[in-house]
Structures are given as structure tokens and as C-alpha cells.
A = this chain, B = another copy of it.
Amino acid sequence: MLLKHYYIEKIAHGSYILAGTKSCAVIDPSRDVDLYLEEARKLGVEITHILETHLHADFVSGHVELAHRTGADIFMPQAGNCAFDHVPVSEGDVLEVDAIRLEVMETPGHSPESACYVVRDTSRGEGPLGVFTGDTLFVGDVGRPDLFPNRAEELADKLYHSLHEKLLTLPDHCEVYPAHGAGSLCGRTLSAKRRSTIGYERRYNQPLQIEDKGDFIQSLTSDMPPAPDHFSRCNEINRAGPALLSELPKLEALDPSQFKERMQDPGVIVVDVRNYDAFGSQHIRGAWHVALSGNFPTFAGWVLPPDREILLIAEGNEGAKQANLWARRVGLDRITGYLEGGMLAWAVAGQPTASVRQLSAGDLHEMVQGEALSSFVLVDARSALEYENMHIEGAVNIPAPDLRTRFQELKPDTPTVLICSSGHRASLGASILKQHGFQEVYNVAGGMTGYNAAGYSPKCSVCANPHVSHAFTDVLETTG
């Protein structure tokens, strides 16, 4: 038996190939399935089983794509009520991949249909060797049960039982193979380490230490990070069966005049994926800014209207292709073109542009030191949690995605400074404010991290460790 683990940064998604001597299963595949096909070819095994632990909320799964490309069966928890061709599985069902036995363990909680697959390698012994836990049990955390808001308590209750009466009955030595790692919004405090064991998590996993069910439910249904908008959308796409990649629109190179014509269409939006400094310097009026070098898939999935056709502004066509790949992973399937030559070509064509001025840490410090604070608004575009941990006095907290509606709490004619952790989210926020007619908008380059590094505020204990994700929030910008 051979286990291969694939990990996609930014969406922090783990998928697996579990291979016997002739066949293999792929568990929770990514939508771009080439890597599984290539690996199976290298290993000399056939992909015969595609296993889904549940209907993923945060990304579009590759189950249908992979089935189409290989002819393998999709195994999906019965409770998922899926529309595509599949083999529904339920408690106790056993799948066999050569000498490997996979037994279905229903573990509702993160979602109603969530299940785990317990692995036995009969060539070595009868006992369980590992378990694919999907989003039920993570390293250092459990799957959040609040993604269906009006069922949050019910699901938290179920999760408690799934964990304590199902997963924790497995022996200590049983390995844990989750579907996510640090930075995922499917939990709150996932560890950077990507795999674990039942015994280790039994002892050190925080939510598992909460003995009282009421406390557990209370903890898991309060103070959760916000769920991006695409979470429910991806869920439905995965249930219905995502479109095949070969059926999606091709990405066209457009010259400035073609681009300009296409963007007149009210069904079209422009998304600029360059770094915040380039965006700030000159961009197309009305464009969304979601930086490719930030957590592009999460924020693109979160804020961009899914029913619109998208035209891209990127650095080079390689950047446009990358953005398209990431967008498809979160169900944005309607990217149809990009501006060839980028903003330099746009300028040379004499087209109008807009700008967002960047402030350095020092620039901001001067502003907040002076009496100036009364003359401008400082918006902290990070999450509520990050804001609470530490923030600049006088700053108003509106998380970047919320600015889509909460811009109304601000005044378009007051100078507005946005700050986040390093600059990407604030710049997204800036692009939103500009769409709503804000005249004078500033982005703090380097964000709170730069502000702290410059010595303008005490480091909080959390921020002292910028590398490994201590909380979901930082990771939104820095992962990957």
C-alpha cells in the first residue's frame, strides 16, 4: 500500500492517492486532475475509485472531471443526494482496492452528509491503519459546523457525536488524513502540520478537549470566522456535478480596443490581479482588485459576482492563466479574456485610468499622530478577530468583503485610508470603495505587519510569529 498526499496552497486543500498493487483510489480530488492521472501512470496503477468525504464548500471538487477522464466510479455519501452518476455509500459499506479495505463511517457535523473512510491494509493486518477524515477532524481542529447557519447547533451536536462516538473509537495509532490544513476557512485554528494520529489529536486537539457537549456546541457556533460567499455556491456545484474543464470558455488575449468594447457589456466585470502597488498606480475604473499573489482563490470566490463574465488584468499572460486556474477551483468558470500587454498597453492606447495612493508605515504614522485623524477615516479591513487582537486607535473595523455593502457606513467624500495585514485585502477594499464613488482612497502598503515592523505599535504575541499560521486570519493573505 502506498499513500501519496497532494496539497494545494491558498485553499489549503489536501487530496490523496491510495494505491494498491494494480488499482488506486483518489480521495477528495482537486478539479485539475492531471496530477492524479500522471501519478497513476507513473505508479503503473489504474484509478478505479474516486472517493468524496462530503460536498466541499470551499472549492470545486474534481470528482466528475476525474470520472470522465478515467471511467472510475465516484463514491459519495448517500446523504449528499447528488445529481451526477455515483455510487452512494453509507455506514459500514466497504470498498476494496486490491488488498486495501475502506470502510465508510458516517460522521455528520461539518455538513449533514460528511463521512470518513477507515483504511485497513489487509496485507499487513486487520486493524485500522488510517482514516480519511475529510473536514470532520483536522490536525489541531475540527470542521466548523456553522456553514448552514440555521442548522449550526444541530450540526454541532451531530459533530460532537461523530467525533466522540465514531472517530475517537479508533485506536490511538490510527493515522488521520484530513482534507484541509492551516489557512482553511473550514475550521478555525488548523495546524500547519498536515497529518496526525487519532491518539495525538485525542490528547491535544483543542475542541476534542471540551467534554461537555453543551460547551462544545457553544464553542463551535460562536466567534467563527466569516464564511465566504462561495462556500454555499461550491457546495451546490459539487452536488450538481461541476462542468467539465473542456467545456469552459477559452481565455482570449484582447487588445485594448477589443477589451474596451467587451467591458462595456453590463454583464462583464474587470478583475485586476496584479500586486497592489501596480493596481494602485493605474487601473481601469471600476475594476475589482484581487491580487494573485495574495489568497486569490478565497477572495475571488468570496467577493466576485459569480453570474458575471470576467475579464482579467494581469502581469503577462502567464499571470492570466494562473488566475483562471485558481478561479475555476472556486467555481468562477466565466473568465473569458485578458488584456494583452496589460496596463502599459492600455496607457499607450490613451485610455483613462484611476489610482489608489499607497502609504508607507511611516506615512500612516505621521497621519495618525497629527490632528489629521479627524480629517480622514481609517478602515481596518481585516477580520473582527484580527482587529480585536490589535489595532490602531481610532480605526474602524470593516472586513474587506463586507465593504461590498458596508461602504454605506462611510462617506465618499471623506479621505479614506484602508489597512489590513500586508496590503492585499485593504487594496481589495479600496477597489470596492472606488466602485462606489469614493474620491480619495489610500492603501497602507505592508499593512499592520509593516506598521509593527517599523516599531509604531507593540507586537502582539500572535503577530510575533508571522510564519506559521496561528490563526485563520493572517493566513488569508500569507498562505501560498
Contacts and interface: CB of A to CB of B under 8 A. Distances in A.
A184 interface: no
B194 A173 contact: no
Interface stretch (A275-283, A325-333, A383-391): A275-283
Interface of A: 1-3, 19-22, 41, 43-45, 121, 124-125, 127, 129, 140, 171-175, 191-200, 202-204, 253, 275-278, 280-282, 293, 315, 340, 343-344, 346-353, 355, 357-358, 360-362, 422-423, 445-447, 449-456, 465-468
Contacts of A172: 171-173, 197, 199
A197 B361 CA distance: 48
29 contacts: A1-B192, A2-B192, A3-B194, A20-B468, A21-B467, A22-B465, A171-B199, A172-B197, A172-B199, A173-B173, A173-B203, A175-B195, A199-B199, A275-B278, A277-B281, A280-B281, A282-B360, A293-B344, A344-B445, A347-B422, A347-B446, A347-B450, A348-B423, A349-B453, A350-B362, A350-B450, A350-B455, A353-B360, A355-B357
Contact of A282 (B43, B44, B277, B451): B277
A277 B275 contact: no
Contacts of A456: 350
Contact of A129 (B200, B202, B344): B200
Contacts of A451: 350
A352 B360 contact: yes
A446 B275 contact: no
A43 B480 CA distance: 9
A422 B344 contact: yes
Given A2-B192, A129-B200, A422 B348 contact: yes
Given A43-B467, A193-B2, A446 B358 contact: no
A277 B129 CA distance: 43
User: Interface SS of chain A: helix, strand, loop or mixed?
Assistant: loop
Given A21-B465, A280-B282, A347-B360, 20 more contacts: A1-B191, A2-B193, A21-B467, A21-B468, A41-B253, A45-B467, A121-B193, A171-B172, A173-B200, A174-B199, A275-B344, A276-B344, A281-B445, A346-B446, A347-B361, A348-B423, A348-B450, A350-B446, A350-B449, A355-B357
A282 B350 contact: no
Contacts of A293: 344
Contacts of A198: 173
A169 to B, nearest CB: 14
Contacts of A174: 197, 199-200
Contacts of A194: 2-3
Interface pairs A-B: 9 shortest CB-CB: A173-B199, A350-B454, A347-B446, A350-B453, A277-B281, A125-B204, A347-B445, A281-B281, A21-B467
